[in-house]
Chains A and B, each alone.
Chain A
Amino acid sequence: DQQVKQNSPSLSVQEGRISILNCDYTNSMFDYFLWYKKYPAEGPTFLISISSIKDKNEDGRFTVFLNKSAKHLSLHIVPSQPGDSAVYFCAASGNTGKLIFGQGTTLQVKP
C-alpha cells in the first residue's frame, strides 16, 4: 500500500525553465510534507517543507504547493539549473512523526 506516490519516475527540462515535480498521497492524517533531494552516492538532503495549514511555501527558487482536497502536492523549481539534476523524494508525516517517502523522481536539467 503506497501511501505516497510519485507517478513520474523521471523529468527532463531545459535550463532556465520551470520544473514541476508532483506527489500524491492517500492518508488524510498526514499533516506535514517535505521534499528531499538526493545526489548519487549521497544521502537525501532536506529541501523544503509545508504544513497542512498552508497551501504554499516558498524558499528562493523552490516553491511547494499543497492541495489538501486533492491530496496532492507539487514542487516548482524556477528557474531550473543544471545543478538541480538529482532525484527528488516527496515525504509525508502524521502524528507518529514517521516519514513516508515516495518512490522519487529523477530530474535532469539540460544546459
Chain B
Amino acid sequence: SAVISQKPSRDICQRGTSLTIQCQVDSQVTMMFWYRQQPGQSLTLIATANQGSEATYESGFVIDKFPISRPNLTFSTLTVSNMSPEDSSIYLCSVRRDIATNEKLFFGSGTQLSVL
C-alpha cells in the first residue's frame, strides 16, 4: 500500500480566493490523480498530475481553474482558483504505483472544502 498525506484536511474559504491542497506520498509512484466528490455525487476525476509536464485534464476541468503541480514522483498540489460556493466539495489525491491499468488506486484522506 501507499501512505498518502493530504493537507489541509478541511478549510472554509471566502468566494474569490484560492486554496492550494498538498499531497505527499511516502514512496515514488508513477501516477497521481486528483478527484472531486461533490455532495451526494460520485468521485469525479479532475486531472492526472504528470511529473515534469503539464497535467492532463478531464472534460469540464481547465488549468486556469485547477492548476496542478507535480515537481517529483512523491508530491503534487492542486489549486482551486477564484472559488465560488459551487466548488464546495471533497478533493482527493490518489496514486497508482505502476502503469498497469488494473492496479487499484490508493487515496488520501481528502480535503473538505467549504466556500462561503
Chain A interface (Cβ < 8 Å from any Cβ of B): 2, 4, 9, 31-32, 34, 36, 41-46, 49, 51, 89, 91, 93, 95-104
Asked if B42 lies at the interface with its beta carbon under 8 angstroms from chain A, I say: yes
Contact of B107 among A43, A98, A100 (CB under 8 A): A43
Q: Would you call B107 and A103 a contact (CB within 8 A)?
A: no
Contact A43 B101 (CB under 8 A): no
Complex contact A43–B42 (CB within 8 A): no
| Residues of A close to B105: CB separation below 8 A | 46, 99
Q: Are A93 and B102 in contact (CB under 8 A)?
A: yes
Q: How far is the CA of A47 from the CA of B101 in the complex (A)?
A: 17
Closest B residue to A104 by beta carbon equals B42
Interface readout for B6-26 with A: 1 if CB under 8 Å, 0 if not?
100100000000000000000
| Residues B9 and A44 in contact, CB atoms below 8 Å apart | no
Closest to A45 in B: B107
- B106–A46 touching, CB < 8 Å: yes
**CA distance in complex: A51, B101 (Å):** 12
Whether B102 lies near A43 (C-beta < 8 A) is no
In the bound complex, do residue A41 and residue B101 qualify as a contact, i.e. CB atoms below 8 Å apart?
no
Residue of A36, A44, A91, A99 with most partner-chain B CB within 10 A: A44
CB of B41 within 8 A of chain A? yes
Provide the bound-state CA to CA distance between A44 and B96, in Å: 14
Shortest Cβ distance from residue A24 to the other chain B in the assembled complex, whole angstroms: 13
Residue from the list A51, A100, A102 in contact with B102, Cβ < 8 A: A51
- Are the CB atoms of B101 and A97 closer together than 8 Å? yes
Q: Which residues of B contact A95 (CB under 8 A)?
A: 101
- Neighbouring B residues of A97 by C-beta, 8 Å: 96, 99, 101-102
Is the pair B43, A101 in contact by a Cβ cutoff of 8 Å? yes
Q: Which residues of A contact B96 (CB under 8 A)?
A: 97
* Inter-subunit contact B40/A103 (CB<8 Å): yes
Contacts of B74 in A (CB 8 A): none
A43-B110 contact, Cβ under 8 Å, with A32-B102, A97-B101: yes
The B97-116 residues at the A interface (CB cut-off 8 A) are 99, 101-102, 104-110, 112
Give chain A residues whose Cβ lies under 8 Å from the Cβ of B94. 43
Instruction: Flag if B42 contacts A34 (CB, 8 Å).
Output: no
